[in-house]
Structure 1
């Protein structure tokens, strides 16, 4: 009988949520030698947006031992476009590290299966109903079983299990309110399309009520979505709103001529929030369970990877040091998480200030140092001390913890 069973624990750690954050945390904890259970309420593969990755996710991906280039579209950078003023600005991102545009269903499944390959016990279609974190351990009740473990990782995405249980979710105002999106396939050859798939860049189109993403996927497919920051026009249903803005864009008219819509129009709301209690007695949150931002800078999966790696490594260290019941175990790492999250939050806020987006993004070619600073932030190079733009963002106003 192993140490866990002798002490009444079924597992060292139960990770709730089988998306990128949960699968990453589970895999790394298993690599550290711990007995892990990973619970996912749905069944892979399942559709998900957030298809554009950041280069500085690569170190975590390498630790997981997977090849994220396989079957995916290389991403060279990001192009910000204002069709009203005919302005474009390209920011190279895959300079020091590589990144990709990828379809989340197969990719999330790959991460989940990779956890199982590392010895994680994985359950799908199992929903957690109750969680109790006590000084002596964690009790978890699902619709299929009951488990006792030494530690809980909340990687439940925007379900935010612990945050909503403890009512510690705070909405972030003035960012995107909702997104409406779909996929297209059979993108026809043409100058615009060929260049898009050659570079693999994400296009960010600035529009009057928010912005549009255009993400090239493998197999000459596109993910296209509209993020609405202002109030929706009252004369238009949400689904019709997307069609209205697609039809009004010359770029999208060129790209989508002869293409076929290959997915239903979907809507996602409850877009931007922070969880004020990201860690506590025998638990820690990572990924979207810790907070979620408007996706204009594609930070979601990047923050999922990096926060999950920190959580996994700190839990392992806590077990070694006998600090697993210390509610402040993750305090130092949480400061690092907040540095990254708040940098992106303030950066997104600046994006929505129309005069700043034009002066900062579309005039960046006038200042090579500024353009490099923007590109580094867009790459996810956040934990450095030599980015003047990042310093000015963080100094602009105090941020809540």
Structure 2
């Protein structure tokens, strides 16, 4: 008979939850992972960052298997004809992944490490006291020494504490769909290099992410106001077809999905940890996807939380409300850096004056590449220091 008592109970079976679960199981702790849906499940956020690879190695995941290698990130202004390319040529590789498949791999990997997992079970409430974390679901009641909220944008603990603060001035909503491309010179070049393309638009920007088997993820992120009378499908098609590159690339393409929408996706949770609980991944905060940081922050925050929690469980200090403070300080620096970079993308001439001019300033280009790769915790990055101090506002 299955126990209802565990060292750690985790709500959410996405990348954050499965990463934390696997690492804690590797340390020898008993872990219950509760997921409201069932894998595989559709998810966007297909473009990865190189600094996720060290975490994948810790999990025992070879993410080269079945995924398209990502060469770098390309930013394009079709109106002016300007473009720039930031290559990822460092120690770590990165890939474009189909999230439904890859997220299931992470989930199955957690099971292989001894994690107990319940799917199609919804956590309804959590009570963390000095003595235990009690988790109630629609199917049972569980006790643990610690609770991890990895519920994504549902942000269970953040909504419980009313600690979700919306971040303004970034993208308002995203429209996206998947295609299967016809064979062409454009598609061959896209898949050969594996780059994410960010095409600037007068209302925001377009993402173009190549996947395996000739598939393509395309999204329109809207930052400015649009007429309410304009339907989602019409808005998406208008701006995709207005792009010469996209209209040529999609000639003869097969549509694989309808238009989906994600809205109000930039926020921070100001109560990310406390007595016997911590939040990781999107439950801790989420930023506009222009620099593809969502998956990276998911697995990195999970790593921070799991490593800190292991020490607490071994020392019997897991009830300490400040247990996660050190890891959270690292997280805050990374999150703030990426937030400032995205803010400059929307609210200044960052792309025009810096990105498109970066080939003339090799050191700055290297520093930008480091941030775009997810290397957010080096002290010697002058561009990052400028972002955090506000000195880069003139850009």
TM bracket, shorter-chain basis: over 0.9
- Native 8 Å contact 2:181 2:216 kept in 1: no
Q: Which runs of 4+ in 1 moved over 6 A?
A: none
Q: Does 1:282 align with 2:264?
A: no
**2:38 & 2:359 partners in 1: Cα distance?**
46
> Which of these residues, 66, 79, 83, is aligned with residue 78 of structure 2?
83
- Native 8 Å contact 1:187 1:221 kept in 2: no
- Native 8 Å contact 2:232 2:259 kept in 1: no
How far is 1:364 from its partner? 0.8
**2:10 & 2:105 partners in 1: Cα distance?**
17
**2:297 & 2:290 partners in 1: Cα distance?**
14
Task: Report the counterpart of residue 151 of structure 2 in structure 1.
Answer: 156
Task: Report the counterpart of residue 335 of structure 2 in structure 1.
Answer: 341
Task: Report the counterpart of residue 375 of structure 2 in structure 1.
Answer: 381
Compute the RMSD of aligned alpha carbons. Answer: 1.3
How far is 1:354 from its partner? 4.8
How far is 1:306 from its partner? 0.7
Task: Report the counterpart of residue 61 of structure 1 in structure 2.
Answer: 56
Task: Report the counterpart of residue 21 of structure 1 in structure 2.
Answer: 16
**2:192 & 2:239 partners in 1: Cα distance?**
25
**1:272 & 1:316 partners in 2: Cα distance?**
30
How far is 1:253 from its partner? 1.1
How far is 1:270 from its partner? 1.8
**1:259 & 1:376 partners in 2: Cα distance?**
35
TM-score, with structure 1 as normaliser: 0.95
- Native 8 Å contact 2:175 2:236 kept in 1: yes
Q: Does 1:308 align with 2:305?
A: no
1:123-134 paired onto structure 2 within 5 Å? 123-134=118-129
Task: Report the counterpart of residue 41 of structure 1 in structure 2.
Answer: 36
Task: Report the counterpart of residue 98 of structure 1 in structure 2.
Answer: 93
Could you report, residue by residue, the CA deviation over 1:58-110 in whole angstroms, capped at 9, with x for unpaired residues?
Answer: 00000000111111110010000000001110000143210000000010011
Task: Report the counterpart of residue 113 of structure 1 in structure 2.
Answer: 108
**2:126 & 2:182 partners in 1: Cα distance?**
47
Task: Report the counterpart of residue 241 of structure 2 in structure 1.
Answer: 247
How far is 1:46 from its partner? 0.5
Task: Report the counterpart of residue 262 of structure 1 in structure 2.
Answer: 256
- Native 8 Å contact 1:80 1:205 kept in 2: yes
- Native 8 Å contact 2:40 2:100 kept in 1: yes
Task: Report the counterpart of residue 320 of structure 2 in structure 1.
Answer: 326
Deviates more, 1:89-98 or 1:252-261: 89-98
Could you report, residue by residue, the CA deviation over 1:18-69 in whole angstroms, capped at 9, with x for unpaired residues?
Answer: 0000000000000000000001000101100000000000000000001111
**2:228 & 2:137 partners in 1: Cα distance?**
42
**2:227 & 2:75 partners in 1: Cα distance?**
24
**1:186 & 1:230 partners in 2: Cα distance?**
29
Task: Report the counterpart of residue 137 of structure 2 in structure 1.
Answer: 142
- Native 8 Å contact 1:130 1:141 kept in 2: yes
Q: Does 1:362 align with 2:383?
A: no
How far is 1:343 from its partner? 0.3
**1:353 & 1:195 partners in 2: Cα distance?**
32
- Size of the aligned set, in residue pairs, is 390
User: SS state of the match for residue 79, structure 1?
Assistant: strand
| Structure 1 residues not aligned, in runs of 5+ | none
